Amino acid sequence: MNLELALHTVNTLAFGQSTRLDGSSLVVAPDELRAHLLTDDTLESIDLEIVAPGEDCRVGPIFDIIEPRSKAPGGSPDFPGILGPPVTAGEGTTHVLQGMAVTVLDEEKDGGTSQGAMGRVLEMRGPAAEVSLYSALHHLVVVPHARAGRERHSAKRANRVAGLKTAVYLARAAHAHAPAEMVRQEPVGPVLSGREGLPRVAYIGQIFSRQRRAEVDEPVLYGASTTGMLPVVLHPDEWQDGALVTSYYTSMGGAETYCYQNHPVIMDLQRRHQARELNFVGTVATIAGADDIDRARNCQAAAYLVQWALSADAAVLTKYGGGVPHADLAETARLLETMGIRTSVMVSDVSRDRRVESALLFNFPEVDAIVYAGGNDTRWPVGPVERVVAGSPAMSELLAGARELKALNVVGVTNQQGVSRLRAVVY
C-alpha cells in the first residue's frame, strides 16, 4: 500500500452560485448538488443546511457523518463497492477537506430503544457539545427524503449513497489546489524488513454486531453486507480510504464513517510505528456473533489470523455496538492471551448505576488491560436552542423540546472505537 493524503483546511462554509474552494473557504452550489444527488430515483427531494461551530443549534437524528474525501483524477474509485467497482482501497492520492463534515440525517431515528425517541443528535454548543469532536466542525447537513412507498431498507441505502456522493462532490473542489499538507503513510505489514526487535502489534476491530440483522442491500465492507462474513485481514490504509462505511444502525456506540476515515486506534498505531516504538503488522476486521456458535467461529478465526497471518506479539481490540459484543471482544482477547499474544481492549459499558459490577460483562483474569471509553450514564441538562435542523417536522419539535441529553444521544460521545472525550477514572 502507498496512500498519500492531500490535506486541505476548511475554515468557512457557505452556499453560492458555484462549488469551489477559495483558500480555506468552501462554497457549495446547492442546486447543483441537489441535481447530482437526485439522479437516485429513490429520493423525492433533498434539503441542505449549513451548521457552524459554536452555533446554538441541535441537529438530528444523525444517520452518518463523513469527512469529504476524493481520489485524485485517474486514481482508484471513491468508496469502492458502493460508488464504483470494489477495487482495493488505500492506494494513490486522496484529497481531504479537514475541518468540516457531511452530516446525513434520517427522517426518523434508527429504532434503538436505548436512545429514547430522539435518537442521536449533534449538539453544537454547551457542555454536551464540548465532549464531542464533531461540534468543532463545519457541517453540510444533508436531509434526503425518500419517495412515498419505498421500503425502509431502500430509503436507508439512498441515505448512504447520498452522503458518500456529497462527500466526494465536495472534495473534488480541492483537486486543482495545492494542499496545505501532504501526509504519506509509512509502509506497514507482517513481512517488513529492518524492524527486527520491535514488538509486533496488530489491531482487531469489530465493524458490525449481529444484535441487528444486516439489511439485504446494506453496504459495510467494499459494498458488501456483513451477512456470513468471517474475519478478514485488512491493511490499515483500507480502513481510512473508503473500504469501510458504518452500518445503517449505529445505536449503542457504533462508529460513524468519519471515525473509520480518522480511526484513532489505527492512526495512533501508525504514529508509533513511524516513531519506531513498535512494528504495526496489520489489522483484522470482524463482527460480533448472534449466538455461541457464531461467536466461537469468529473469535477463533480472528485470533488465528493475528497469530498465523500477522505473527503478532500483541493486539489492540475494539468492539461495535452494545453489551453482547463485549463477549466476542473478551473471548477473542482470551484466546490470544492463551497463544502468548498480549492484549489490550477498549470498552464502553452499558451500565446505568455507575457501579463497576454492572459494567463487567466479562471477567477473564487473562484480559487485564482494559481501557474504558465513554460513560453511558453521563447526562447533561439542556434548554431551548436558537435553531433546530431535523429530518422531519415531528423530529424538529421533539429536539426543540429536549430538556436532557444522555451520552448515548450525543454523536461522538459514546463510541466504541475511541472517538470520545469522556474517560473513566477510578477514585
Of residues 233, 238, 245, the one with CA closest to residue 285:
233
SS3 state at 3 = strand
SS3 state at 292 = helix
How high is the pLDDT of residue 359? 58
Judged against a pLDDT cut of 50, whether residue 144 lies above it is answered with yes
The secondary structure of residue 407, as a DSSP letter, is: G
Residues recorded for the chain: 427
Q: Is 119 left (phi over 0), alpha (psi -120 to 50) or beta?
A: left
Q: How far apart are CA 362 and CA 260, in angstroms?
A: 26
Task: Give strand ranges (E) for 135-247.
Answer: 138-146, 181-184, 200-209, 232-234
How high is the pLDDT of residue 348? 74
Please, which pLDDT band fits residue 270 given cuts at 50, 70 and 90?
very high
Judged against a pLDDT cut of 90, whether residue 408 lies above it is answered with no
How high is the pLDDT of residue 113? 46
Q: What percent of the chain has pLDDT over 90?
A: 73
Please, which pLDDT band fits residue 244 given cuts at 50, 70 and 90?
very high
CA dist 109 to 228, 315, 398, 399, 402, Å?
Answer: 27, 35, 12, 12, 15
Q: How far apart are CA 345 and CA 358, in angstroms?
A: 18
Q: Is 216 left (phi over 0), alpha (psi -120 to 50) or beta?
A: alpha
How high is the pLDDT of residue 354? 59
CA dist 56 to 126, 358, 384, Å?
Answer: 8, 36, 9
**2, 186 in Cβ contact below 8 A?**
no
pLDDT tens-digit readout, 54-89: 999 999 999 999 999 999 998 889 999 999 999 999
- Which residues 6+ apart lie within 8 Å of 309 measured at CB? 190, 233, 282
**8-17, 110-119, 244-253: which has the highest mean pLDDT?**
8-17
Over the chain, what is the mean pLDDT?
91
How high is the pLDDT of residue 375? 64
Kindly state the greatest CA–CA separation across the chain. 62
Judged against a pLDDT cut of 60, whether residue 358 lies above it is answered with no
Please, which pLDDT band fits residue 328 given cuts at 50, 70 and 90?
very high
CA dist 245 to 222, 226, 250, Å?
Answer: 8, 12, 11
How high is the pLDDT of residue 423? 65
Please, which pLDDT band fits residue 347 given cuts at 50, 70 and 90?
confident
How high is the pLDDT of residue 400? 93
Please, which pLDDT band fits residue 355 given cuts at 50, 70 and 90?
low
Judged against a pLDDT cut of 80, whether residue 201 lies above it is answered with yes
Cα 92 off chain centre by: 22
Spatial strand order in the sheet of 232-234: 232-234, 279-288, 200-209, 314-318, 342-347, 370-372
Of residues 56, 48, 50, the one with CA closest to residue 129:
56
**54, 36 in Cβ contact below 8 A?**
no
pLDDT tens-digit readout, 277-286: 999 999 999 9
Average pLDDT over residues 231-254: 89
Higher-confidence residue: 357 or 371? 371
